[in-house]
A and B are shown apart, each in its own frame.
Chain A
Amino acid sequence: NAGVTQTPKFQVLKTGQSMTLQCAQDMNHEYMSWYRQDPGMGLRLIHYSVGAGITDQGEVPNGYNVSRSTTEDFPLRLLSAAPSQTSVYFCASSYRVGGGPGEQYFGPGTRLTVT
């Protein structure tokens, strides 16, 4: 199993550009999530999904879109990049345990800089 993969590893964007961060998992997990982590801070939940076709907003959803057309993939789209979106982005997936999310498996992260 490859686990959770994220591409690209690094990205530099100009203000106003759009792009999609890719995330894929091969563990047949129901839950998938996107987090961002600013320097010296904890993770903040952007969007998450509890299954194909179902997505919901987290703490900081503005400026981001997601879709979950398959169990495996959960891309994160930045609509119009802003310097405030400079951060490290982590994707995670988990199975369900007792009705809620179980152990989360994290990808290696994407370091995004917006100039």
Chain B
Amino acid sequence: SQQGEEDPQALSIQEGENATMNCSYKTSINNLQWYRQNSGRGLVHLILIRSNEREKHSGRLRVTLDTSKKSSSLLITASRAADTASYFCAPGGNYGQNFVFGPGTRLSVLP
């Protein structure tokens, strides 16, 4: 199992601004996923990008993946107060491996 490391640990922005958070990992992956967690709740899956994809969009989310640098980024455009949450990346390995989540990025969107 391998862990993703999110950066920055905390991010505070104004409503309407864009938020960018990054993820680094160490070994080869099959896919990489991003999750959101609102306080005290279970994680919610946001987006999955496969190792042969470079960019993926879902609504206001844009994820990029650079397998040569073993890194990914999550961009949230036109952020809203409801986007306030912790965000985690999960590098997915091969069969028999499972996710080890990093500490996450705590995003605060101020009205």
Binding site for B on A (CB under 8 A): 31, 33, 35, 41-45, 48, 50, 56, 58-59, 88, 90, 92, 96-109
Contact = CB atoms under 8 A, between A and B. Distances in A.
Nearest to B44: A106
Given A100-B30, A109-B40, 4 more contacts: A41-B103, A42-B101, A102-B31, A102-B92
A42 B92 CA distance: 17
Given A100-B30, A100-B94, A105 B100 contact: no
Interface of B: 1, 29-31, 33, 35, 40-45, 48, 50-51, 86, 88, 90, 92-104
B43 A100 contact: no
A99 B40 CA distance: 31
Main secondary structure on B side of the interface with A: loop
Contact of B104 (A42, A58, A88): A42
B88 A104 contact: no
- Residue picked from A48, A98, A109, most chain B C-beta under 10 Å: A98
Given A43-B43, A108-B41, A56 B96 contact: yes
B92 A100 contact: yes
Contacts of A33: 98-99
A104 B48 contact: no
15 contacts: A33-B98, A35-B101, A42-B86, A42-B101, A43-B101, A45-B1, A56-B98, A58-B1, A59-B1, A97-B48, A100-B30, A100-B31, A100-B95, A101-B98, A104-B90
Contacts of A41: 103
Q: From A33, A100, A107, name the one whose CB has the most chain B CB atoms within 10 angstroms.
A: A100
Q: Which 10 pairs across A and B sit closest by C-beta, in order of nearness?
A: A106-B42, A100-B30, A43-B101, A100-B92, A48-B98, A42-B103, A103-B45, A99-B95, A98-B30, A106-B43
